[in-house]
Amino acid sequence: MKRSLPERVSEREAAAAAEAAAETAFEKRHRHARAQRSTALTEDYVELIADLMALHGEVRVTEIARRLGVSHPTAVKSVARLKRDGFVTSRPYRGIFLTEEGSALADRVRARHQLVVQLLLAIGVAREDAESDAEGIEHHVSDRTLAAFERYLARSSKR
């Protein structure tokens, strides 16, 4: 039985819509992971800028590039993105400075880092490894997981 053109088009559209709507768990996880990598870069830059501001009062792009091991143009692009997103400001012939929003983000990142380090130490990871591993974990752990870490640490400290 031969179907009419509108029936065939309708079936193809329905199949395409079903395929588009059927995003697998795998695809969701990887989409989330890609977004997390972008967030991790932002957090690394903001955290470093806060640390350098504490040491020097202001920060130069050259110092950011050197500390992160990236090229100067890469650091310039990243700082431009931080400006666009409202985390930093800069002044002509001066350095880069965190905005209130940037400072708040840096504080949250530091607190998250410390929580992950405390958990890793509590389960027997050596301090040097805990500090290094926390640097990666801190950017990819959900708020619910962080809350679970806090509950675990609270229970384990009562023992």
Q: Are strands 88-90 and 96-98 parallel, antiparallel or unpaired?
A: antiparallel
User: Domains in the chain, start-ordered, CATH in brackets?
Assistant: 25-99 (1.10.10.10), 104-157 (1.10.60.10)
Task: Give one DSSP letter per residue of 65-83, joined into a string.
Answer: HHHHT--HHHHHHHHHHHH
Percent of the chain with pLDDT over 70: 79
How far, in Å, CA of 49 to CA of 104, rounded? 12
pLDDT in tens, 46-61: 999 999 999 998 899 9
- Check residue 156 and give its pLDDT: 86
pLDDT in tens, 95-109: 999 999 999 999 999
Distances (CA, A) of 36 to 31, 43, 89, 121, 146: 9, 10, 24, 25, 15
How far, in Å, CA of 102 to CA of 89, rounded? 10
* Half-sphere exposure in the Cβ direction for 157 (13 Å, CA): 9
